[in-house]
Structure 1
Amino acid sequence: MIGRIRGTLVEKQPPEILVDVAGVGYEIQMPMTSFYQLPAPGDEVVVYTHFVVREDAQLLFGFADKMERGLFRELIKANGVGPKLGLTILSGMSASQFLVCVQNEDVSSLVAMPGIGKKTAERLVVELKDRLAKFGNIQDVNLPHLPMEGATGNAVVPLNDTREEAASALVSLGYKPAQASKMVSGVYEQGMNSETVIREALKAAL
Structure 2
Amino acid sequence: MIDFLRGPVVHLENEYVVLDVQGIGYRVFCPNPFVFAKSEGPVTIYIHHHVREDAILLFGFPTREEQQLFRKLIEVSGIGPRVALGILTGGSPDSLVTAIYQENITFLTKLPGIGKKTAQRMILDLKDKLDGFGAAAFATGLFAVPVVEEGDGSSWSEAREGLKALGYTDTELDKVWLKLKKDISPDDSVDVMMKRALQMLFAG
Pairwise same-fold verdict (TM > 0.5): yes
Range that drifts further, 73-82 or 108-117: 108-117
Matched, 1:140 2:145: no
1:51 match: 49
Q: Give the direction of change, closer, same or farther, for the CA distance of 1:199–1:134 in structure 2 (3 Å limit).
A: closer
Give the SS at the match of 1:89: helix
Identity value in percent: 35
What is residue 64 of structure 2 aligned with on the other side? Answer: 66
Whole-Å separation in 1 of the counterparts to 2:164 and 2:142: 27
- Check conservation: 1:8, 1:45, Cα contact below 8 A: yes
What TM-score, normalized by structure 2, do the two folds share? 0.68
Shift of 1:39: 3.2
Higher relative contact order (CA 8 A, sep 6+): 1
Cα distance, 1:9–1:102 mapped onto 2, change above 3 Å: same
Does the Cα contact within 8 Å between 1:12 and 1:41 map onto a contact in 2? no
Contact 1:110 1:121 survives alignment (8 Å): yes
Shift of 1:85: 0.6
Deviations 1:46-69 (A, max 9, x none): 111110001010000000101011
Secondary structure of residue in 1 paired with 2:48 = strand
- Displacement of 1:140 after TM fit? 1.2
**1:8, 1:43 within 8 Å by CA — same for their partners in 2?**
yes
Number of residue pairs the alignment of both structures matches: 159
CA distance in 1 between partners of 2:38 and 2:169 (Å) = 17
Q: 1:142 to 1:121 in 2, by over 3 A?
A: closer
* Equivalent of 1:108 in 106, 109, 124: 106
In structure 1, the gaps of 5 or more residues are: 144-182
Q: 2:84 aligns with which of 83, 86, 94?
A: 86
- Equivalent AA in structure 2 for residue 17 of structure 1: V
TM-score (norm 1): 0.68
| Alignment root-mean-square deviation, CA | 3.0
Structure 1 residues 195 and 123: CA distance shift in structure 2, 3 A? same
Runs (4 or more) in structure 1 with deviation over 3 Å come to 39-42, 196-200
1:50–1:30 CA distance, 2 compared to 1 (3 A): same
Aligned partner of 1:195: which letter?
A: A
Unaligned runs of 5+ in 2: 146-153, 178-204
Looking at structure 2, the residues matched to 134 and 193 of structure 1 have their Cα atoms a distance apart, in angstroms, of: 29
How many angstroms apart in 1 are the aligned matches of 2:113 and 2:62? 24
Given the alignment of the two structures, is residue 11 of structure 1 paired with residue 11 of structure 2, yes or no?
Answer: yes
* Contact kept in structure 1, 2:86 and 2:111, CA below 8 Å: yes
User: Equivalent residue for 1:180?
Assistant: none
CA distance in 2, matches of 1:54, 1:129: 28
- The amino acid that maps onto 1:14 is N
Higher mean C-alpha deviation, range 94-103 or range 106-115: 106-115
TM-superposed CA distance for 1:37, in Å, is 2.5
1:115 deviates by 1.4
Q: What SS is found at the alignment partner of 1:134?
A: coil
Asked which structure has the greater CA Rg, the reply is 2
Structure 1 distance, partners of 2:51, 2:66, is 20
